[in-house]
Structure 1
Amino acid sequence: MSSCSGQEELRVQKVTLKDFFTKGLGAVCELTSLYFQESTMTRCSHQQSPYQLLFGEPHIFEDLLGLKIRISPDAFFQINTAGAELLYQTIGELSGVNSSTTLLDICCVIGLSLAQRASQVLGIELVEQAVQDARWTAAFNGVTNCEFHAGRAEKILPQLLKSQKDEKLTVAVVNPARAGLHYQVVQAIRNCRAIHTLVFVSCKPHGESTRNFIDYSSIVIVFEYDMKMASILSG
């Protein structure tokens, strides 16, 4: 297949998709945004192959614990909003975040929901779009005590923790991918005397997460949280 014919086939597919969701049977879905991504892999990032907006708004928005959250196509967000609210509230209770605490938010979007309780929130996220969303969300909701960094946690965290004074209490919340935390992140957290509480959130609390628990060589309280059950309870 030539390059020209391949591009023409893609163009036809895009038009077909758009028509299906705007004029055809798919219109019942009432989509607000439809993106298309060209890829030979099961999953790739926006940087690897940019998302193409076929129609609708470039972002979707969600209300979460009194905040209006902006979400880009490459950003992670819990689709079970009611369950996410219960999860974040539970994290707030377990962490003991208060007005004298610095909240270190690693690989997750939890920090914004707890910003009103904390003195400062320092967020680290790999996906650039998610960081842009976090900054927009903070500005839109008038949250001024948050600072977000885009990049790999193992590269950013050690330098970020050096700026934290040992006498200032720090709570770390981590929510890594299934591969778990990089060993440099584990080491940086262990070496930071300012961190007095660590909340580890995992959708797969076995495998690599277990290795992380062992690496921390401390007492770990496992709190299993079922998002499906949370939806039932909140409903």
Structure 2
Amino acid sequence: MIVLNNLSVIYEDETVGLENISLEFTPGEFTVLLGASGAGKSTLLRCINLLTIPTRGQVIVDGLGTLNNPKALRKHRQKTGMIFQQHQLLPRQTALKNVLIGRLAYHSTFRSFFPLPKIDQIIALDCLDRVGLLNKALTPVKQLSGGQQQRVGIARALAQQPRFLLADEPVASLDPGSSHKILANLKKICQEDGIGAVVSLHQIDLALEYGDRIIGLAGGNILFDSHPSEIKSQQLEKIYQTSSLMKTV
């Protein structure tokens, strides 16, 4: 379990990124962060693994406690995979080599200069197989489609053998068909492995279809937190209207 305790992010220009956020994320639950651009979705995601340092509050992880020392943070990041909107892949390297990057957290910096052990190769190939890209293992990722590149990014995160996956707008640049395939595959894997996922989206239809839980954000505040079946049109309007107003202030 990951607990966010009274988390706030205030930027140097005094813009509020998050305001007194308290949440719990559990393994096996597919949580969608829903909201317009600037609502605080990416900031919240990046706080979970402290890529963004909160101004106030704590991140507490089951078995590690408060992430207030480098050792605990390193172990947390080792077991928390990250999937990015723009893939963040090495385009000239093969799909397999990109996925193997997910295994580097289990080795020392010195060891990473050499070919990784056979077990890491097996894990990486299995992850490519699970996203349907085993036949592309030796293909440079620059030759893959956008949807295929995103699947490589998912495989790389899975190679960490994570307890949690964080995905920041993972389908924003994809067509609707590819978006559904990516999210369906991601949710299936999370269900099979008991992985908790926190996924930021701005597409309401995708959030309603794939989320076990929706957290609606606007202006760094939580306006909704429940099962997708509970969200009403008035609440959606408030989430997006509030975000729009915040951007024009």
TM over 0.5: no
* Bigger proportion of residues as strand: 2
Task: Between the two structures, name the one with larger relative contact order (CA 8 Å, sep ≥ 6).
Answer: 2
Q: Please indicate the TM-score interval, normalised by the length of the shorter structure.
A: 0.3 to 0.5
TM-score under structure 1 normalisation?
A: 0.34
State the structure with more CA Rg: 1
